[in-house]
Structure 1
Amino acid sequence: MTGQELDRSVHHQLRTLTKENAEGVARHLVMVAATLAADETQLALAHAETAVRRAGRVPAAREALGMVAYRMGDYNRALGEFRTVRRLSGSSHLLALMVDCERGLGRFDRALELASSPEARTLTAAEREELTIVVSGVRRDMGQDAAALVALQGPGLRRKGAFRLQYAYADTLAALGRADEALDWFTRAALGDVEGETDAVERVEELQGTVQTDLLEGDDSEESGAEDSLGTEDPDVR
């Protein structure tokens, strides 16, 4: 790991540090990403904390620590770090994660209030999509499945590549007992999820079995009725 693997925007943030310190922090940030990818959260935490000790006013360092805390389920700490990133950078790109932290802390009203703040209007299309998914999750946690479904409905739902949004929509339909519609949307999500980030394929297979069983039950009934009809002699026919 040389540190050169980082995005150019992060290197730009590190220019406020001495050359030696910038190189060291860059290596720690690369290691945070690598260890998180390997699900070695304790090691990722150690690298992130070191990066923050050496570059506490660099947004990328605080974001890395927030991401590790978020992955570990330490939502209070993650929220604090994400707020610091927002203050240092002036960017609200972590808004969806902040809302999800409030959700994780059980503060549903705060989560919805934050999601509807003016900052939400500054997000990119991809960031708004993530926020929509989180808001729907908040509604489901509140037992408002119908409202969760409505939250996901919008022009972005049919957008090519919006498989995460489509998956959330399908999952909510399934929770509402609308299996046939859920199957359709899980299928859409599976086709878009080329990297296998979700279990959409498994959900399709599961629902296909359920729907097929329902259809077969209906067919058996109809066939039975047809057989009864054929087996009964019509008194008017001689």
Structure 2
Amino acid sequence: MAEDRRGQRPSRGGAGADRGSSAGGRSGSSPRGGSAASRGKDSRGGSGGGKDSRAGDTRGDSRGGQRGDARGKAGSSRGGYQGGGKTPSGSGDRAYRGRSEEKPRTSEQAVYDGPDLPENITGAELDRGIRAQLKGLPEKLAARVARHLAAAGMLIDEDPETAYQHTLAARARASRLAVVREATGEAAYAAGHYAEALAELRAAKRMNGATDYLPIMADCHRALGNPEQAIKLAKSPSVANFSTEAKAEMTLVEAGARRDMGQLDAALRTLELAPLTSKSRSAWVVRLRYAYADTLEAAGRESDALAWFHRTHAIDSEELTDAAARADLLERRQS
């Protein structure tokens, strides 16, 4: 996993907020508003710059029961009468050898089955657009995939690894659906599986042509030690058509990539081209300001950094960052 890059990491779904993605229910201004791995839960404000700088067959649902029945029949035919006593051949008493014990699941079966699904999760929690994309599947299969996606959405913040396992179960059943691959990519990203996230989001992009994933894909390149590739994605022509929030997400990644390469001045210039003085109090503005203050401090410009930590704290009503603490530390250092 990559290090926690405060204020530089894109919020999941930030780039796709206008479209609605696949991990559970991300829409609107929420960083999770349209993603399939997060649309199962109520939308709420995005991740803070300081604290989170950072698919079809039906085999799995029936294999276990059928396999158990077959074993039971085989066991009863081999073991004689279930109640013991004489065998039909009169060879004497023989203990009944019941059905054989269940063999442990293979890793592939475990992935296919996925984590246990809470009974209260029905799949109806998903965004309507997500459910519509599942309608091409057989009814029971679609219902199972929907439940795994909804479960992923409910867990992606509190337990991203389990959320990722739910999306893998959905992918095992419906791997040809872009919405499922998107959900898997976003959950992998949340769980810190950056190579897997990059592969899944690339697959989703090939399927639906969407560019919403570019900021997260770029940040995956950063986490994998390829900042040059992150900057290359940040310069994609499609970024010009992004929403203001999505552009801010890409700016954060590009600036972070510049810092990874030791280019502090270039990182500052990148951030200075963003709407740092926007009157909006949205999370993306908070995160931009925090990243700028943090980069100023890294560049040795402590007085400027102090001013921008104060400006960040002034609009950070939800305390998404530790800007106040950073400002206090700088003040004590300068006194």
Give TM-score, length-normalised by structure 2: 0.59
Deviation at 1:188, TM superposition (A): 2.0
Asked if residue 138 in structure 1 is aligned to residue 257 in structure 2, the reply is yes
Paired residues of 2:221 and 2:229 also in contact (CA < 8 A): yes
Stretches of 4+ aligned residues off by more than 4 angstroms: none
The structure-2 alpha-carbon separation of the partners of 1:187 and 1:31, relative to structure 1 and needing over 3 Å to count, comes to same
> Residue 317 of structure 2: SS of its match in structure 1?
coil
Structure 2 alignment gaps of length 5 or more: 1-120
Is the 8 Å Cα contact of residues 187 and 201 (structure 1) preserved in structure 2? yes
Are 1:167 and 2:290 matched, yes or no?
yes
Q: Identity across aligned pairs (percent)?
A: 41
Would you say 1:21 and 2:144 are equivalent positions?
Answer: no
1:136-158: CA deviation from partner (whole Å, max 9, x where unpaired): 00000001111100010125211
Whether the 8 Å CA contact 1:3–1:29 is kept in 2: the answer is yes
Deviation track 1:191-215 (CA, whole Å, cap 9, x = no partner) reads 323332222222122223223x1xx
Pair 1:203-2:322 in alignment:
no
**Residue 254 (structure 2) pairs with residue 102 (structure 1):** no
1:119 aligned residue (208, 231, 238)? 238
Distance in 1 between residues matched to 2:309 and 2:194, nearest whole Å: 29
In structure 2, relative to structure 1, the CA distance for the partners of 1:136 and 1:16 (3 Å cut) is: same
Amino acid at match of 2:186: M
- What letter corresponds to residue 9 of structure 1 in structure 2? G
Distance 1:201 1:59, change over 3 A: farther
Q: Aligned to 1:158, which of 259, 266, 277?
A: 277
Higher helix share: 1
| CA distance in structure 1 between the aligned counterparts of 2:136 and 2:297, rounded to whole angstroms | 50
Matched, 1:186 2:309: yes
1:43-96 deviations in whole A, cap 9, x for unaligned? 222201011112212222212211222233322211111111111222111100
Q: Which runs of 5+ in 1 are unaligned?
A: 214-238
Measured after TM superposition, the shift of residue 166 of structure 1 is 0.7
Q: 1 CA distance for matches of 2:324 and 2:129?
A: 36
Asked if the contact 1:92/1:122 (under 8 Å) is kept, the reply is: no
Give the length in aligned residue pairs: 211
SS of equivalent residue, structure 2 residue 126: coil
Residues 73-126 of structure 1: CA deviation (Å, up to 9, x unaligned): 322211111111111222111100111111112122222112112222232211
Correspondence for 1:63? 182
Residue 141 of structure 1 aligns with an amino acid whose one-letter code is D
Counterpart contact for 2:228–2:257, Cα < 8 Å: no
Could you tell me whether the CA contact under 8 Å between 2:149 and 2:183 is conserved in 1?
Answer: yes
Which of 121, 126, 130 is the matching residue for 1:6?
126
Task: Write the letter of the residue equivalent to 1:165.
Answer: L
Match for residue 36 of structure 1? 156
2:188 & 2:176 partners in 1: Cα distance?
Answer: 18
Contact 2:230-2:253 within 8 A present in 1 as well? no
| Aligned residue type for 1:192 | I
Letter in 1 for 2:286: F
Asked if residue 49 in structure 1 is aligned to residue 147 in structure 2, the reply is no
- The TM-score with structure 1 as length reference comes to 0.82
- The question of whether the paired residues in 2 share the 8 Å contact of 1:173 and 1:182 is answered with yes
Change (3 A) 1:201 1:29: farther
CA contact (8 A) 2:292 2:308 kept: yes
Using the alignment, how far apart are the partners of 1:129 and 1:109 within structure 2? 19
User: Is residue 2:247 matched to residue 1:128?
Assistant: yes
